[in-house]
Amino acid sequence: MSLFTSCAIFLTVWWTVLFCVLPFGTVTHAEAGIDKGDGGDPGAPVDPKIKQKFLTTTWISVLVFAAIYAIVYFKLVPLPRVPGGL
């Protein structure tokens, strides 16, 4: 697996995991009983904890990518060759 392919797969895994991690531990303004006033969305999180979620996303993505890399490196699942490649 080339460096470019590895980076592309890692970024795809990272974004997918991020969207899975984002809803965990969020408390909305409506759940907290805080009035957002005019124009505020009651479903917006009070404290989104983005830094913590990015760190959690990164270590989960590293584990998932390591599993994918091991599967490809040790040829546990044979991948077909695409004829006529670059």
Tens-digit pLDDT profile for residues 29-69: 889 988 887 788 888 899 999 999 999 999 999 999 999 99
| pLDDT confidence of residue 82 | 62
| Confidence band, pLDDT 50/70/90 cuts, at residue 85 | low
> CB of 44 within 8 A of CB of 29?
yes
| pLDDT confidence of residue 39 | 80
Q: Rounded to an integer, what distance in angstroms lies between the CA atom of residue 14 and that of residue 55?
A: 11
Q: Rounded to an integer, what distance in angstroms lies between the CA atom of residue 71 and that of residue 78?
A: 9
